Amino acid sequence: MKKTAFLFAFIAFTAITLAQESIVNKSNLGLAYTNGFIPRISINVANDTTTGSFTDRALNILYSRRNYFKLNENNEFQVDEIRQSPAGVNVLVQQTRNGVKIREAKGVVSFNQQGEISCVSLDGSSANFTINTAPTFLLMDAINAITSHFSPKSTQIAESKAELVIIQKDSAAQLAWQFYATPQGGTSYWCAVDAHTNQIIQCADASAYYNPPQGTGKVFNPDPGSYLGVDNLPDSADANYFPVDTAYSIETLQGLIQSADGKWRLQGEFAYVHDGFAPFLGLAEETEPIFHYTRDNDHFEEVNAYFHLDKQMRYIRSLGLIRTGMGIS
């Protein structure tokens, strides 16, 4: 194959890298980073001198290597949860500012069975921002704004799950109240209201988030040799030759999430495909979630990788090894 999509999979956490600007240390796979956004991943962290509990060590490695991970110097970290897995211990962390959570800025510090830090993976943006974290408007003001938005229908608000968060986009950030709202006779909506202006930032159909649409992709399932019962098939420089061209299968691509620009890319609930090696040729994108390429197209490897990783992660979850609702980045 000319080039394969770059993917890492962990039982307790799956991380798929963006195309990196540079590799800090190839032996440790320290990756840093594209366009201010991540995931940032470091595997087999070198020279780890942290001591104490898993919580202490997770926070220590983040604070002490803030520059290495390109983390905002004004952000703090809190531990949300500690999870045991067959591979070891996973400490789930959340970035905050003045005690307010930064949305989509979570991470995992993983320890292997020997107690060594085996992986650090972080989501979010490295861009700096300034923000007043004291809300001008109260939660009830935000609820009233959403209630008026859905009027004349009465609206049920899940106040127990409401929280104050920071929504960051590059160097811009908004303080927001976020909560779920369900208009009478309708579906639930995930809503965010600016805590300084009381203007609605977002009100999205929650069912679209929890039940992402499906697409289709042309893949090898499992591989041409097994499918055809033929050994030693030559690669032939990715040529779409006979009989390999008879081994394709059209499969469902589950969990795809449509991008903000309206296009479809191979990103979903459990897998993201990113261009991880030079030369960077760009990723597959379509106006509809249909990814039908043959092996002589570089995008074919992306589809194949997405389909099989997503399939395996769903199987692992079905065994109960990953708790329902865990985020994958």
The tens digit of pLDDT for each residue in 122-153 reads: 777 778 899 999 999 999 999 999 999 999 99
pLDDT at 41: 60
Residue 66 confidence (pLDDT): 85
Angle at 136 between CA 191 and CA 156, to 5 degrees: 30
CATH for 8-122, options being 3.40.1310, 3.10.450, 1.20.1070, 3.40.50 = 3.10.450
Contacts of 263 (CB under 8 A, 6+ apart): 285, 286, 287
Read off the tokens for 192: 């965010």
Q: Please tell me whether the peptide bond between 279 and the residue prior to it is cis, using omega within 30 degrees of 0.
A: yes
Cβ-count burial of 172 within 10 angstroms (0-12 exposed, 13-18 middle, 19+ buried)?
exposed
Question: What is the model's pLDDT at position 277?
Answer: 59
151 φ/ψ angles, rounded to the nearest 5 degrees: -60, 145
Contacts of 154 (CB under 8 A, 6+ apart): 183, 184
Model pLDDT, residue 19: 31
pLDDT given for residue 266 in this prediction: 87
Strand partners, 117: 111
User: What pLDDT is recorded for position 61?
Assistant: 92
pLDDT < 50 regions, the chain: 1-39, 322-329
Q: How far is CA 182 from CA 49, 154, 186, 211, in A?
A: 49, 9, 6, 17
Q: Please report the pLDDT score of residue 324 as a whole number.
A: 39
Helix (H, G, I), strand (E, B) or coil at 324: coil
Q: Give the start-to-end residue ranges of the domains of the chain.
A: 8-122, 139-205, 215-318
**CA 20 to CA 164: how far, in whole Å?**
32
